[in-house]
Structure 1
Amino acid sequence: MKTYAILFSIAASMLSLQAQVAIEVRLDQEQFLAGESLTAAARISNRSGQALDFGKDADWLTFHIESQDGFVVEKLGEAPAPGEFTVETSKIATRRVDLAPYFSALRPGRYSIVATVRVKDWNSEIISPPKNFDVIRGAKLWTQEFGVPLAPGSTNRVPEMRRYTLEQANHLRTQLRLYFRLTDAAESRVLKVQAIGPMVSFSDLEQQLDKNNHLHALWRTGRQSCTYVSFNTDGEMTAHQTYDLTDSHPKLKLDEKGVVFVSGGVRRITPNDVPSKTGDDSAQLENK
């Protein structure tokens, strides 16, 4: 009887804590490609009647990912969530953490994330409900191996070989998306995966490498619009632009100096532009 009483007391105590402080995991999307950033938002609600401090210890917030298909997800390290902060009573705080670098590459399947927050003032832990998500497989549309140019002043050596890949995935089976993937030449090490925009089923995807082996891509995102992007050899997006179709449709062209540019169509300034445009630059730009 004493054992049951102790267990009941512990369970009641845990329920009481979770009623006072709650943690929830939220995701911006429910489907990801393998290697894509997996940013989890830990949402902490404080209803305890007192202010609570978090972030003093490195392990104040931890995450666990579990496969629902039966295989083990290896944890490579703890995802850091640095910075001290206080959550006043009746307030909510959110801390966002990219989990992708801290777990082994996830194969296609269904997974769940659980977050644990440690309330140091109470010497207690609060565990979130599981948040489910899917890792989906993309369809490879184009791939190209390339050499990384040497930095200025570097001596001649065998160049590092990498690979660009453009993939298509059907997000929630309702919207086609185009993804950029950067890997080593053998595709055994993923350096970057990024969703770069929606696409239509009748899209004609154009791609071109410039003199620096930067990737340029242009594709249809709607009946009367196209998106243009460029990436450098480290996978950083250097351009993101929108073009409206006119009598002259947008096309990628390579000039005699090895520079890639968009010819045709009308440039439309949007909030998603890279580099961003401000002030009087908000007008449409006609391409020659």
Structure 2
Amino acid sequence: MLFGVLTPVVAFAYVGRLRLGIAFLLGTFLVLVAGGWSGAIQIVPGYYAIMLVILALGFVATFYPFWLAWKRPQSYSARWYNRWYHYLWIGLVCAAPGMLWAPNRGELLGYEIFRIPSRSMSSSLSPGDFVVVDTRPQSLRQLSRGDVVTYRPHSTPQQTWVGRLIGLPGETIEVRGGQVRIDGMALNERYAIQSPEQDPAAPLSLTLDADSYFILGDNRPNSDDSRYQGPYSRDQLTGKINAIWLSFLPSRERPLQMERIGGLAPPVYASKASGQPGGSP
């Protein structure tokens, strides 16, 4: 979205209003940053409201220079930058920060947008779901059991995977026959797709370190998670998913599924008093 208003900066320069073009560019960037770090963009209504503002800024920044050119008086005198070679470096200077920051956009903006490609989290998240990931540090300091998180897997750290936080630091995790136990107590997972006869994972039992988390996919027979790759440290967790803002997959019978749009309700686990592990760290 941000790159859509870069070219109009050159158009503003062409009509002698370079500073106005830069103001539109900075304004767009500040709206995205404010929306991300305030948490507004991490909820569906806030996301669409901010995207409407960005679209409006992009529309104005695209067509307003044409109106200025049409209204420009005959007496207009060219600015120092009204040469074709100046337009080249102006465009490059405006585009360079976006290209340099793209790999770390989550740290800069406080959020990222991802499209779910696989069924490892079905049916909570399905292929074609577009999600908003909260990448703010304060979000990762408030982790609870059942949170859906993004993380860098051991096998391919250049990628970002999605899973559900099951085991918290210091807990003993046991997975056997599709059943998860936390400190010896069974975890009631209504969201999980269980198929012990198709699940190739071997039984395991381990105690998590003070900085370790156990992550599982909801679709257990089709998830490459901590059962195979082991626990993850906090610095491998990159964000928390709170909402689906769009669900669109052309290959589905109904490509657009509006009913999937909305916040992800956190699972409710019974308390330890009732014989089940609770949901807080």
The TM-score normalised by the length of structure 1 is 0.22
- Larger RCO: 1 or 2 (CA < 8 Å, sep 6+): 2
Structure 1 or 2: more helix by fraction: 2
Greater per-residue strand proportion: 1
